């Protein structure tokens, strides 16, 4: 299938037992009226009868002497073992959310088998309130978070009466892409465009750095302080999840002249500040978050990875909730302004420079380097309407992401049907009592509502 794109291979190279490189999601469903006790078993058996899998779900990574040690994709679609990839589980009594999160934490801490296509889907029953859950995980080399979320959306329906809905891993008709204009669309032309993008990058970076120093708003690489989050990690994971009304968050943003994402970052900043203060471990300098931004054009449903990065000053050194949000807003505005003048290729190059110090943490002795940033906080827009899977209503959709060596905590948020759904994934040893951050998120939002008088 040819050599693997470097934007995909970069997620295979640093993977280790301590650092699995897959993303995931936890979906909660309410069964349809009249569903019997065998409802989930029937869905599981139907999944095993799927006649085919989509290309991304049928390929596995491979490298050898014949590939000169480079990663390639091998097509295993015709020999795929769905009983390995799709699994049926049940929670122990009493079947609370606590038991569900404990199971998902364990599942998310195990490596995917590189001798098979890199994905799993777990159908989980036994919740005391009658709901069931689906936990899925996909290797980040297969697709980024935006692609994974779009795939989930296409696998569900806004029609609760629809049945026989294809599984997410089944193939779907591809939309025809519009033809591009002539010129730099040929391979030589693309190469010339890439070369031009990179040669014009340095002056723009210098200009951005100059304005940043002058205005002191945008966060820059190597500004992040050392913290208890930026240490070597283990492979064991802990996951916590909760949702908040998007109307509450939007009201704060409107009153402050900020975006919904700014408020999400401010909630996270407040939770982190309270959490680190409780452990007497809050750095005197503000924590820095890396916030991914999608480079995908509207309607692009291809796999792979297309993500840029902005560094955000979380202002955790400030005690006042209003001041923190305004500082975060200014930092994000400066970061976006810096990317606005760059092409997607240049954004990718800048993002690689931002992530380079982090990759050093994956090699022996790399932990001596200062942190490039303290954690990743990602916000992926999701569906606005309620969705259904074979009549079962999706009532929760919580993302799981990747803690990295030197980056022990990840906060990923997605919107769904009027709520913002937070998923916190951390190293079980390095980030103890992770669930306390959920309390901090609520306290942070309440403090912002009070500061901007939105309640």
| Nearby residues of 109 by Cβ (< 8 Å), 6 or more positions away | 20, 235, 236, 237, 428
Question: Does a structural domain hold residue 297?
Answer: yes
Q: Is 278 contained in some domain? A: yes
Q: What's residue 193's pLDDT?
A: 44
Out of 139, 140, 329, 433, the active site residue is 140
Output the domain CATH number for residue 57. 3.30.559.10
Domain boundary (132, 155, 178) is at 155
Question: Helices H, strands E: what count in the chain?
Answer: 12, 14
Final residue before a domain boundary, out of 138, 155, 172: 155
What confidence tens digit (pLDDT) does each residue in 122-178 have? 999 999 999 999 999 999 999 877 777 778 788 899 999 998 888 889 987 665 444
- The strand order across the sheet containing 22-30 reads 86-90, 119-125, 132-139, 22-30, 392-400, 388-389
Query: Is 139 annotated as catalytic?
Result: no
The verdict on residue 368 lying in a domain is yes
What integer is the mean pLDDT of 197-208? 50
Q: Domain check: are 151 and 216 in the same one?
A: no
Q: Identify the domain boundary among 116, 133, 155.
A: 155
**What mean pLDDT is reported for the chain?**
84
Q: Is the pTM of this model over 0.75?
A: yes
Selected residue with higher pLDDT from 6 and 274: 274
Tell me the DSSP string of 253-295: HHHHT--HHHHHHHHHHHHHHHHHHHTT---SSPPEEEEEEE-
pLDDT for the residue numbered 191: 39
| Residues 131 and 256 occupy one common structural domain | no
> What is the domain range of residue 69?
6-155
Of 286, 239, 296, 285, the residue nearest 265 (C-alpha): 286
For residue 212, pLDDT beyond 50: no
Do 357 and 447 belong to one domain? yes
Query: Does residue 192 belong to any structural domain of this protein?
Result: no
Task: Report the CATH number that the domain containing residue 275 is assigned in CATH.
Answer: 3.30.559.30
Number of domains in the chain: 2
Same domain, 258 and 338: yes
Asked whether residue 149 falls in the same domain as residue 27, the answer is yes
């Amino acid at each position: 299938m040819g050599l693997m794109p470097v934007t995909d291979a970069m997620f295979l190279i640093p993977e280790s037992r301590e650092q699995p490189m897959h993303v995931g999601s936890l979906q909660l469903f309410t069964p349809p009226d009249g569903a019997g006790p065998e409802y989930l078993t029937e869905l599981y058996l139907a999944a095993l009868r799927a006649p085919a899998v989509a290309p991304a779900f049928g390929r596995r990574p491979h490298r050898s002497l014949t590939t000169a040690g480079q990663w390639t994709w091998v097509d295993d679609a015709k020999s795929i073992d769905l009983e390995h990839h799709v699994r049926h589980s049940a929670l122990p009594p009493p079947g609370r959310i606590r038991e569900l999160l404990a199971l998902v934490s364990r599942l998310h801490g195990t490596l995917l088998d590189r001798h098979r296509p890199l994905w799993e889907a777990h159908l989980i029953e036994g919740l005391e309130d009658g709901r069931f859950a689906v936990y899925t995980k996909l290797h980040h080399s297969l697709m980024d978070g935006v692609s994974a979320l779009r795939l989930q959306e296409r696998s569900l329906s806004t029609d609760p009466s629809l049945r026989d809905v294809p599984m997410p891993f089944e193939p779907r008709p591809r939309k025809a892409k519009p033809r591009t204009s002539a010129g730099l669309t040929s391979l030589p032309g693309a190469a010339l465009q890439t070369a031009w993008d990179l040669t014009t990058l340095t002056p723009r970076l210098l200009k951005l750095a100059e304005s940043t120093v002058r205005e002191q708003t945008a966060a820059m690489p190597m500004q992040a302080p050392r913290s208890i989050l930026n240490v070597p990690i283990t492979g064991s994971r802990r996951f916590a999840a909760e949702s908040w009304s998007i109307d509450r968050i939007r009201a704060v943003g409107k009153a402050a002249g900020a975006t919904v994402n700014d408020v999400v970052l401010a909630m996270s900043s407040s939770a982190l500040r309270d959490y680190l203060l409780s452990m007497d471990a809050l750095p005197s300098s503000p924590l820095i978050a890396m916030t991914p931004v999608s480079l995908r054009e509207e309607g692009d449903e291809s796999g792979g990875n297309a993500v840029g990065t902005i560094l955000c000053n979380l202002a955790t050194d400030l005690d006042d909730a209003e001041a923190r949000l305004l500082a975060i807003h200014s930092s994000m505005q400066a970061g976006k302004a810096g990317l606005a003048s760059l092409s997607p290729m240049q954004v990718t190059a800048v993002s690689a420079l931002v992530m380079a110090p982090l990759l050093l943490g994956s090699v022996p002795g790399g932990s001596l380097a200062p942190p490039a940033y303290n954690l990743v906080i990602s916000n992926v827009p999701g569906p606005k309407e309620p969705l259904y899977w074979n009549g079962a209503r999706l009532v929760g959709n919580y993302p799981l992401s990747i803690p990295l060596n030197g980056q022990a905590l990840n906060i990923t948020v997605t919107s769904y049907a009027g709520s913002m759904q937070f998923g916190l994934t951390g190293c079980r040893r390095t980030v103890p009592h992770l669930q306390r951050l959920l309390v901090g998120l609520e306290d942070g939002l309440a403090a912002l509502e009070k500061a901007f008088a939105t309640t």
